[in-house]
Amino acid sequence: MKPLYLYPLWIRLWHWTNVLLFIILIISGASLHYASARDWFAFDTVMLVHNTAGIMLTIAWLVFLIGNFVSENGKHYRVKFKGMIARLIEQSYYYAIGIFTGEPHPFHVSTEMKFNTLQQLSYIGVMYGLMPVLIISGLLFLFPAYLPDQFMGIGSIWIVAMTHLVVAYLLILFMLTHIYIITTGETIFSNLQAMLTGWHKGKRYE
Amino acid sequence: MKNSFYVKITAFFILLTALHTGFANEIKNAKTAYCLRCHSMETLAYRDTVTGEIVNLYVNFQQYQQSNHKHLECIACHTSDSSNYPHPDSVKEEKRYCLDCHKEDSKFIPYQFAEIEQAFNNSVHAIKSPHQFTCFSCHDPHQFKISRVGEKISDIIRYDNEICLNCHASPLHTQLKGSTELLISHQWLPNLMLHWESVRCVECHTPATAGFSHNILPAKQSVKNCVSCHSKEATLLTSLYQYRSQEDLEKTGWFNKAVFNKAYIIGMSRNETIDRWSLIILGLTLVGLFAHGLGRVFTHKRNKK
């Protein structure tokens, strides 16, 4: 079987832009969040970096949204509900046990579907769930003048701050898991290589 | 003509004395009443020949009646012989100190006078003016009330702040440091007047401790971090952040507001519980992933064999 061209240039550029922005946002965000008198970076500079990176991430997310709408890439995010639970169990079993006993991958990548169900659901959760919440809470942080003073008796900016914080932690959790999970491809680096070259290769395709 | 003047003056003093005698009769304690015949006169004062300062000798009877010391006779504290007038010079040398009475008495233990003394000794007042500054510089024992529960909070704040302003906004102080000194040093506070009306000076000018501390800090060490107050309560945080944000928006416009966002307040997103649990979960995830990876390495070798 021939190698598959799964990641067009715009997806790769978008992905690596996200990587860079995530790293910048995590470092600057942690620096702002845990700011103290003895910080490595100047507070004002970090704030400028975090806000700029946040706005760029928002643009990147819009590119992803529009790209998925106008290109074929959107099909990978359409959930097939039929047999979904069984596929989820199968994939989870593989990560929990099968991977240690040398069992073959239960999912085979194709141009029709490049994500296994577990992957697909987590990406949908991140891109269509957490990211909009992160972006909206970030924008509300920048323009709180348009918020009501209180929401259900609680100061609304506090709700925004806590939402932004929790989502940020969840996205770090996602990133750690994502970085590890990509090593579970055909070889440790095959998925990473695919995201760099666009071509998905593996023993099966050689 | 001249005689008429003396007659009027004499009549005035007779009337004044009569008034005060009647007024002093309201006081049950005869010795205290005797003192208050003179000391309840608002204008009773003298100029200290050494310092040149006016020494106020007036005791507000109404306030004294409501104070914690109302049951004490004057001579309980003023131990020099003041039975005759003019009083002897030794009266001026009297050294009075709260802890003379309050330290050993077991009923005052809850008020922690020993801690108060220690905190006071560390305060900028005691350090800068060790001899001039005493408890009485702030707390007038003739009107001191430890608790004013039931009074309007704004009245309590005003009362407490007046203690500070008696000196820090006094003519002498403004003469030395300029009439706008207080305004300039507090310029960084948004809604300055609202803060002064709603917050006691000591909230920022003492260390953040569970109870109230008598350790008045030097100006440079005082709280200048808005979050110390504004993140304790979510509604306060919102009003502060929105105020700063609105100000930014008006001054700099949309784009600059978004990029520079000067409104962000250090620590405003902090939440100990969320931080602690998130870091624990992230740590456990890392450990889990590492263990999973190790397991893969070992089983891969075994499977190869």
Tens digits of residue pLDDT in A159-193: 899 999 999 999 999 999 999 999 998 888 989 99
Q: Which of A51, A52, A150 sits opposite B235 (nearest CB)?
A: A150
pLDDT in tens, B124-143: 999 988 877 888 888 888 88
Mean pLDDT of A105-126: 91
Question: In terms of pLDDT, which residue wins out, A48 or B268?
Answer: A48
Q: Is A111 on the interface with B (CB under 8 A)?
A: no
Average pLDDT, chain A: 89
pLDDT higher than threshold 60 for residue B11: no
What is the pLDDT, as a whole number, of residue B160?
A: 86
This complex has an ipTM of: 0.89
**Interface touch A157/B246, C-beta < 8 Å:** no
Contact A188/B at CB under 8 A:
no
User: Residue B187 pLDDT > 70, yes or no?
Assistant: yes
Residue B1 has pLDDT above 50, yes or no: no
For the residues B232-249, what does the mean pLDDT come to? Answer: 69
Contacts of B292 in chain A (CB under 8 A): 180
The answer to whether A175 contacts chain B (CB < 8 Å) is no
Mean pLDDT across the stretch B245-268?
74
Hey, is the C-beta of A30 within 8 angstroms of any chain B C-beta? no
User: Phi-psi category of B112—alpha, beta or left, where left has phi over 0 and alpha has psi -120 to 50?
Assistant: left
A-chain residues near B266 (CB < 8 A): 32, 35, 43
Q: What confidence tier does B230 reach under pLDDT thresholds 50, 70, 90?
A: low
For chain B, say whether A157 makes contact (Cβ under 8 Å): yes
Cβ contact B237–A166 (<8 Å): no
Q: Which of A183-187, A190-194, B191-195, B271-275 has the lowest mean pLDDT?
A: B191-195
User: Which residues of chain A are within 8 Å of residue B235 when distances are taken between CB atoms?
Assistant: 149-150, 154-155
Q: What is the pTM of this model?
A: 0.61
pLDDT of residue B3: 54
Q: Which of B35-44, B50-59, B208-217 has the lowest mean pLDDT?
A: B208-217
pLDDT confidence band for A127 (50 / 70 / 90) = very high
DSSP three-state, residue A78: coil
User: What does the DSSP 8-state code read for residue A169?
Assistant: H
**Section B246-275 average pLDDT:** 77
- pLDDT confidence tier of residue A205, bands split at 50, 70 and 90: very low
More confident residue, A202 or A99: A99
Max mean pLDDT range (A38-47, A91-100, B93-102, B144-153)? A91-100
Quick one: tokens of B227?
């979050």
CB contact under 8 A, B293 and A101: no
Give the number of residues written for chain A. 206
State the Cα–Cα distance between residues B71 and B73, nearest whole angstrom: 7
Q: Which residue has the higher pLDDT, A72 or B15?
A: A72
A97 Cβ under 8 Å from any chain B Cβ? no
Among B108, B159, B163, smallest CA distance to B135 is for B163
Q: Do A143 and B241 touch (CB under 8 A)?
A: no
pLDDT tops 50 at residue A36: yes
Q: Which domains does chain A have, with CATH numbers?
A: 4-205 (1.20.950.20)
Task: Using the predicted structure, report yes or no on whether residue B158 has a pLDDT greater than 60.
Answer: yes
- pLDDT above 70 for B75: yes
With an 8 Å Cβ cutoff, are B258 and A51 in contact? yes
Q: Is A101 on the interface with B (CB under 8 A)?
A: yes
Residue A11 has pLDDT above 60, yes or no: yes
- Select from A143, A158, A164 the Cβ nearest to the Cβ of B238: A158
Say what the pLDDT of residue A203 is.
56
| Helices (runs of H) and strands (runs of E) counted in chain A | 8, 4
Q: CA-to-CA distance for B243 and B263, rounded, in angstroms?
A: 8
